[in-house]
Amino acid sequence: MVVGKMMGLVRALAIAGAAGGALLAPPLAVAQNGPSGLGATTYASGEVTQAQCKQAYDAVFAAIKESRESEVSDFVIGWALDYEKKVNEGGGCTRIPTGLVKAAAAPVSAPKLTFQDMMDRAEGQRQAGNMDQAIESWKLLCSSGEPAGCHNAAYALDQRAPTTSAQLGEITDLYKRACNNASGPYKNSCLNLAVHYNKKGAADYNPQTAAEYFERTCHLGGPPLACFNAGVYWRQQASIAKTTSERGTHGQRGIDLYRKACDRDEAAGCAALGKNLISGSVVQADYLAGLEAYRKGCRLAPDGDICAETGFWLGVVKKACDKGERSACQAAQTFGARAGES
């Protein structure tokens, strides 16, 4: 397997790209098939072993790492990338470029590169104003399974105000690869997907998909507003549910998300939690917990409407008490006592 070395070649190719080299744009100068044999443009004839393919690949990798990218032709780099792909899929190569036959007979020790090396290279390209090169470097990082590369490429493309379905599709695909990465989901990509699908009027506007990505962002520890937004969707679904079971399931899901938002100090989440707990419209009423949620929301946003709403809902609880609901009386009394203590 050459998965690890693939990441090294990714950065190496980014270095070549920064010099106007292969893959990303037409090269400024055509590499010649000189002593290194790396400027080849045709395949050698005859059968080759997998060991020879590996050694030829190492020669390409080492040349780029050693900043000899001007010696390497687009043809040779294309062969190296294709070789990586085939090996990682369980296959191998059947031919090598002319000029690498000699290299294939002598093993080359290719240096290893770190993820941070590659990210630094892409960031350097970005700061130098070579955004196209940086995006391609991030894409190559993404192809090696690094979610940060997928996210950065998607974000950079998103900032260009894409309009075509192809452009939007590429962006959402990159975000999804980062958000759904098995080794470590990238929560910011999940959030950006949620925002993308939540844009009314967009061709792919989908509030349910948006809610699912908001919820995923929430569970990954993203901004508490993501929890609140997901809660809003599921609470709305509860209000239009056709069965009692669906109403309860969706309602509880929404309230759980409101609670997560409130626990993370999102004032709107506290207010929504308080309202639903006091009203008891989709779950059993919990007057005291509802009032306490409102109290917290008021404390988090003292200049907003939540403090006024707190008074309104306290009045609702007192009316329930007047109607003989003991739990409401206890809640109003406890809430008032705690208010006095503070």
Nearest by Cα to 223 from 184, 196, 250, 194: 194
SS3 category, 33? coil
pLDDT beneath 50: ranges in the chain: 1-35, 107-110, 342
Name, in order, each residue with C-beta under 8 angstroms of 231's C-beta and a sequence gap of 6 or more. 253, 254, 255, 256, 257, 258, 260, 261, 269, 272
Nearest-angstrom CA–CA distance, 208 and 86: 38
Alpha-helix residue ranges (DSSP H) falling in 34-107: 50-65, 74-88, 101-104
Q: What is the pLDDT of residue 66?
A: 65
Q: What is the pLDDT of residue 54?
A: 84
Q: What is the pLDDT of residue 8?
A: 42
Nearest by Cα to 108 from 177, 59, 172, 54: 59
pLDDT tens-digit map of 72-91? 787 888 888 888 778 877 88
The number of C-alpha atoms within 13 Å of 244 and in the hemisphere containing its C-beta is 0
Q: What is the pLDDT of residue 341?
A: 53
Place of tokens 């109290």: 295
Alpha-helix residue ranges (DSSP H) falling in 110-206: 115-127, 131-143, 147-158, 165-179, 187-197
Domains of the chain (ranges plus CATH)?
3-104 (no CATH), 145-222 (1.25.40), 225-341 (1.25.40)
Q: What is the pLDDT of residue 215?
A: 96
Place of tokens 């907003």: 304
Among positive and negative, which fits the CA dihedral 129, 132, 135, 140? negative
Q: What is the pLDDT of residue 153?
A: 94
pTM for the whole structure: 0.65
Nearest-angstrom CA–CA distance, 157 and 174: 10
Per-residue tokens: 218: 């929430």
